Structure 1
Amino acid sequence: MIDSRTFENADTVTQSTFRDPDHDAAFQRDGYVIVDFASPEVVRALLDSYKRLNSGIDTGYYPSLMSPDQEYKAAANDEVGAIVWPLLNQVIEGYEPLVGYFMVKHPGPDTEVSPHQDWILADESVHPTMGVWIPLTEVTEQVGQMKVLPGSHKWLTGLRGSPGFPMEWEAEHERVRDELMVTVPIQVGQAMVYDIRVLHGTPPNNSDSTRVVGSLYALAEGSTPIHFYKSPEGLVQGFEIPDDFYYTFMIGDIPAGEPFIEIEDYSVEQLSFEEIARRYAASRA
């Protein structure tokens, strides 16, 4: 019997992840680090790929992974992965790519990405799952600049998956966003490499231009990709997922295969803002 606490616990990572010791120290403390990443030629190549591959979506915010077009998702993964992974592999060690994608934020007041933690993609009890966020166009607070809660990867717990899971912080997410989360200055050519457990989000794009970001997830070498699904009745199931999962899956689908764990009536304790602020302050001490 697999214990769900294996997947719910935070602050389990002590091994080095980054090749640069200073980057690794900052990552262990904050849950993210900004690195010089892509040359102008690499940025142009990723933008060319974004423009050439037609998602069929021209309004709002979307990650390419959420497109209903399976061929588009597969092509985006192939092209983003081929460009981004060799560069990310120079920054982190002991990892392998999972999936590459674009995150696109067209202008509009409804394009906020509220504070969230990314889905659990693999066992995080020994190694974190890594994400990389690479702006291909200028990012400012008006356009949709990244905000994070530094250090939150060390003390936020709970399962994360689709189509929606209760989270410890959700009742206070607006105050957390406005009073605790910090804006991450980042320029085109740089990347934010982050532990996907860290709380993060972006404000709406209130400019007249589209914000385009290239992204990739990487798992510790030898990890088994997994996905947690929560039914409308409250049953949580964990699945080992096939190689084509991120090309074929749509939010709301039940993953194929037999679950390796089932949890009835899954719930989490809602933290007060004061408790969130206390934990945040303690993690910064």
Structure 2
Amino acid sequence: MEVKVLSSYLNWKPIKHRIFKSEKLAHTIHTKGYQVVDFLTQDVLDELDKIYTEEHHFDLENGGMFYSMYSKDTAYRKRVHSRIGELLKPKLEEYFKAYNNVINAFVVKLPGEKSEFYVHQDTTGLDELKYSPLSLWIPLQDITKENGALSVIEKTQWFFSPYRGISFPFPFKGINETIKRYLKPVFMKRGQALFFDNRIIHNSMANTSSKARVAIICGLFPKEASFMTCYKDPEQTNSPIELYQHDANFLLEYPQFFYNCTDRPTSGKVVATVDEVFPQMNTATFETLCATNDITPVDYLENIEATTTNCDLIAEPDGVNKFEPATVMASDQKSSSFWSFLKIKR
């Protein structure tokens, strides 16, 4: 049974994922939005541990969150993508067909209070009128309530918009206190994979353990899909959403996923614009959508703050971000986007 919505934004609804070999798994992701799967063997996990150790060195006391795709070092990004991809390929071939492995990266939560990454949807990466994206999140250690579990709200990939970008706010920005009640933590074993539609609302809790929490993120597109991103001028209230098409190496070579990330894209071309922006959702509408689809409050995160002020983002594998002075000033002036929710490590 499909998820029920109250109204349809631009007559859009998520396209069923075509890359699964299993129809049952495709249906689960299309409706629920996620599924945990036993995935990697111990030998592969040991090799991934080795890559992580060889490529990274962090020495920060207050925690933080590192994402290898943010780095300015594109040779490092390509190397990590390739090495991880070689190890994942046999399992990807087992589960998927006619797919493109567009990105493999490390996501690391260093222990400390500055490691929480709060509620969001991932930004648009392809034409969601034709295709749906899929992410695999694979922890390299058991995931507990102490070391930074992901939390998700099932079915929410249906609730919002196919157009998301960090230059304009999420449509649930004003109801984070309500959103927080529905987030359900996903506790996993080392080597399991969370298959998820990255449009579901999710967050990751702080790592309060004594060790880094290391995970692999693997992004999959249908083979024929190209990259498309969204930009909206944050200085112009009524500006349209601009849809940018990018080349095949976009995720491996684009330099501004972290630095100057809310600026107008420096690569790709505008192929369309969208004038009608998805409106901000209020509490009553969100709660009605949840009740209609049998999504009940969990209240697991009731003692966690409802806004993201507690995250230091780390872009470089040595733990030292490489900001230019002008970049720091510009980032301080951005106030209306998702990125402004975060405290950026400098």
Q: CA deviation at 1:129?
A: 0.5
Paired residue for 1:49, among 34, 51, 65? 51
Identify if the C-alpha distance between structure 1 residues 88 and 210 changes in structure 2 by more than 3 Å, giving closer, same or farther.
same
- Counterpart selection for 2:151 from 135, 147, 151: 147
Give 1:158 deviation, angstroms. Answer: 5.0
Q: Give the alignment's TM-score, normalised by structure 1.
A: 0.88
Which residue of the partner structure matches residue 217 of structure 1? 219
Match of 2:33 among 14, 31, 56: 31
Deviation at 1:13, TM superposition (A): 2.1
1:242 aligns with 2:247: yes
Q: 1 CA distance for matches of 2:274 and 2:12?
A: 19
Q: 1:168 aligns with which of 167, 171, 174?
A: 171
Unaligned runs of 5+ in 2: 1-7, 296-346
2:145 partner letter: E
Distance 1:169 1:158 in 2: 14
1:77-97 deviation digits (Å, cap 9, x = unpaired): 111222224312322333211
Which residue of 63, 77, 82 maps to 1:78?
A: 82
Equivalent residue for 2:288? 278
Q: Is the 8 A contact 1:10 1:155 kept in 2?
A: no
State the one-letter code of the partner of 2:53.
K
Q: Is the 8 A contact 1:123 1:223 kept in 2?
A: yes
Alpha-carbon shift at residue 226 of structure 1 (Å): 1.4
Alignment of 1:112 with 2:112, yes or no, is no
Shift of 1:272: 1.6
- In the aligned structure 1, how far is the partner of 2:10 from the partner of 2:214? 32
* Equivalent pair of 1:168/1:270 in contact (CA under 8 Å): yes
Look up the match of 1:11.
Answer: 13
Give, in angstroms, the shift of residue 167 of structure 1: 1.6
TM-score normalised according to structure 2 size: 0.73
Deviation at 1:252, TM superposition (A): 3.5
Distance 2:201 2:19 in 1: 19
How many angstroms apart in 1 are the aligned matches of 2:92 and 2:11?
Answer: 26
Measured on the aligned residues, the alpha-carbon RMSD in Å equals 2.4
2:339 is matched with none
| Unmatched tracts of structure 1, length 5 or more | 1-5
2:185 corresponding residue in structure 1:
183
**Of 110-119 and 248-257, the range deviating more from structure 2:** 248-257
Q: Separation in 2 of the partners of 1:118 and 1:18?
A: 21
Aligned: 1:99 with 2:103: yes
Deviation sequence 1:96-146 (CA, Å, 0-9, x none): 111111101001112111111111111122331110000012211211101
Does structure 1 conserve the Cα–Cα contact (< 8 Å) formed by 2:99 and 2:221? yes
Query: Could you tell me whether the CA contact under 8 Å between 2:19 and 2:222 is conserved in 1?
Result: no
CA deviation vs aligned residue, 1:171-193 (integer Å, no higher than 9, x gap): 1123312x111111211121001
Bigger Cα displacement from structure 2, 150-159 vs 253-262: 253-262
Q: Which amino acid aligns with 1:121?
A: G
Partner letter of residue 292 of structure 2? A
What whole-Å deviation, never above 9, does each CA across 1:52-72 have from its counterpart, x for those lacking one? Answer: 113778551021111222221
User: In structure 1, how many angstroms separate the alpha carbons of the residues matched to 2:65 and 2:124?
Assistant: 22
Contact 2:156/2:199 (8 A) holds in 1: yes
**Distance in structure 1 (CA, Å) of the matches to 2:145 and 2:48:** 23
